[in-house]
Structure 1
Amino acid sequence: MDQILQLLPQDIIDILQERKQDFANENEKIGSPGYIPADNAILIDTIIALSLGKNVLLKGPTGSGKTKLAETISSIFGQPMQSINCSVDLDAEGLLGFKTIHQDGEKSFIDFVPGPVVQAMRKGHLLYIDEINMAKPETLPILNGVLDYRRMIHNPFTGEVVNATGNFGVIAAINEGYIGTVPLNEALKNRFVIIDVPYIQAETLKIVLENQSRLKDAALINQFVALSSDLIAQAQMGQISEDAASIRALIDTCDLSVYISPLRAIQRGIIDKLEDAREKAAVRNIAETIFG
């Protein structure tokens, strides 16, 4: 990681140092590091864009490490991060907050509990919006003012105007073509700088498995790297779903393989997550070819 940071321009490094000082005394949780990019430019460009006050949209297949990248950025900036997990049920309350009744003795008061958007804006934190294209199209326009030069939002629950403070920044993630997603409209997409986050492979994946899984057997790790390569190739050809090629699922499988056979680990960690019988058979055939 230090080698990547040394590739940054000096003025960007200065910005990172200033932000770390700004949040040094906060008790808010900072994201955990650990993202290893397939290409250093992925991490470098994300850091530069956020340092310049741009919104960043991470685009890549499921399990490619977009959330881990966002957490690593939070760690590098030393900046706490508020998170939103989008779904079709996400509404204004899920974004902005909600009202609740507070009892103080015999008196009742109505309090407003701020949601992740309001908290991040008020505190100058990062805001991470996961699977933004899973949200209903009618929900997302609430964020238009947050994502453009105004950096503000009108809170319909309190009537106040919330203006972003400090180094507030937005990172969103998108899985294109995934079941349940809808295309982002151009007005929303134009508010982001887009970073492609592909699956990590080969030596980079080997390093990730060595560092982030319980598995320490070098020969088995090499076999899992080969398995991942074949699964990614099949996913790119549309033969199996991206779920089967998830790096997150692969790490889970490696952890299991410390205690059970690799084929059983693959069954539990990858195959049983799939719904289609043809896909299950395809993954099983690949696994049996590699692990025997």
Structure 2
Amino acid sequence: MNLYQNDDTTIQIDALNMLKLKKNILLKGPTGSGKTKLAETLRHELDRPMHSINCSVDLDAESLLGFKTIEIKGGESVITFVEGPVIQAMKQGHLLYIDEINMAKPETLPILNGVLDFRRTITNPFTGEVITADDNFAVIAAINVGYVGTLPMNEALKNRFVVIDMDYISGETLKNVIRTQTLLEDETLIEQLGKFNKDLITMAEQGQISEEASSIRALLDLCDLTTIMPVERAVKRAIVDKLEDDREQQAIINAMELTF
């Protein structure tokens, strides 16, 4: 079942074909558009483990490549190297998922340039080992455009990716995601929750609530909770209580009362 659609093309099929061509994929879109869910779907489709990197301003070479540590072997202290997600994925032919890639400092990620271009190699600065990626190695990255704390991507880095521009999941596609990825089976409630999510997306686009409140993760949690508690309490647990702003909380409560 193809869950991710964009006009006449199917994003999931495009992404799979791009990975088979050994292209690095950059998923571009707002929080809640299902970027991480798509990456997980691709991992299942390819039946391949996936290593993840969550970018921040504190991301450094050790977080990407690994670090040296001291172990006791045979009663003696020995310096060993613990491989990080990049090197593990390269050597084992796994997927590498780089989340919120534009949250990292621009000077940190160029260390991956050789990994992401035709060379598919890297010289480990901590050990001097030259690593060439296994043939099955592939990279998926995600970017939140205009998000607080993000930085412009280095052009050399950006040019190493092909881009899939993702919008919020909606309509029948969203209903299929709910049916296949949650415990909820009540079609009437699925229809109502789809409408409720659409209202939240509109509110997020207008700046009334944060994008996290309209995310696909929050919606799927909400759907599961409605199977064990009334929908009003499920909305409170899955969405409202995560927010700090009283006005955002009240806006979501108002939208809930209109829908349910």
**Alpha-carbon distance between aligned partners in 2 of 1:219 and 1:41, rounded to the nearest angstrom:** 27
Helix, strand or coil at the partner of 2:59: coil
User: Structure 2: any 5+ residue segments left out of the alignment?
Assistant: none
Q: Is the counterpart of residue 222 in structure 1 residue 191 in structure 2?
A: yes
Q: 1:55-110: per-residue Cα shift (whole Å, max 9, x none)? A: 10011121322112112212222222221121222211110011111211222211
1:157 corresponds to which of 126, 134, 151: 126
Identity %: 63
User: Is the 1:64–1:248 contact (alpha carbons within 8 Å) kept by the matching residues of 2?
Assistant: no
1:284 corresponds to which of 221, 228, 253: 253
User: Structure 1: any 5+ residue segments left out of the alignment?
Assistant: 5-35
Number of residues of Structure 1 aligned to a counterpart in Structure 2: 258
Q: Is the counterpart of residue 184 in structure 1 residue 153 in structure 2?
A: yes
User: Is the 1:83–1:128 contact (alpha carbons within 8 Å) kept by the matching residues of 2?
Assistant: yes
1:129 corresponds to which of 88, 98, 115: 98
Q: CA deviation at 1:216?
A: 2.1
User: Is the 1:122–1:163 contact (alpha carbons within 8 Å) kept by the matching residues of 2?
Assistant: yes
**Alpha-carbon distance between aligned partners in 2 of 1:207 and 1:235, rounded to the nearest angstrom:** 23
**Alpha-carbon distance between aligned partners in 2 of 1:78 and 1:207, rounded to the nearest angstrom:** 21
Q: Which residue of 2 aligns with 1:273?
A: 242
Change beyond 3 A, Cα 1:61–1:147: same
Q: CA deviation at 1:173?
A: 0.7
Aligned CA-pair RMSD? 1.5
**Alpha-carbon distance between aligned partners in 2 of 1:42 and 1:221, rounded to the nearest angstrom:** 23
Q: Which residue of 2 aligns with 1:68?
A: 37
Please identify runs of 4+ aligned residues in structure 1 that moved more than 6 A: none
How high is the TM-score relative to the length of structure 2? 0.93
Structure with more contact order per residue of length (Cα contacts < 8 Å, sep ≥ 6): 2
Q: Is the counterpart of residue 115 in structure 1 residue 56 in structure 2?
A: no
2:214 corresponds to which of 245, 264, 270: 245
User: Is the 1:38–1:199 contact (alpha carbons within 8 Å) kept by the matching residues of 2?
Assistant: no
Q: Is the counterpart of residue 146 in structure 1 residue 132 in structure 2?
A: no
**Alpha-carbon distance between aligned partners in 2 of 1:196 and 1:113, rounded to the nearest angstrom:** 35
**Alpha-carbon distance between aligned partners in 1 of 2:29 and 2:171, rounded to the nearest angstrom:** 18
How high is the TM-score relative to the length of structure 1? 0.84
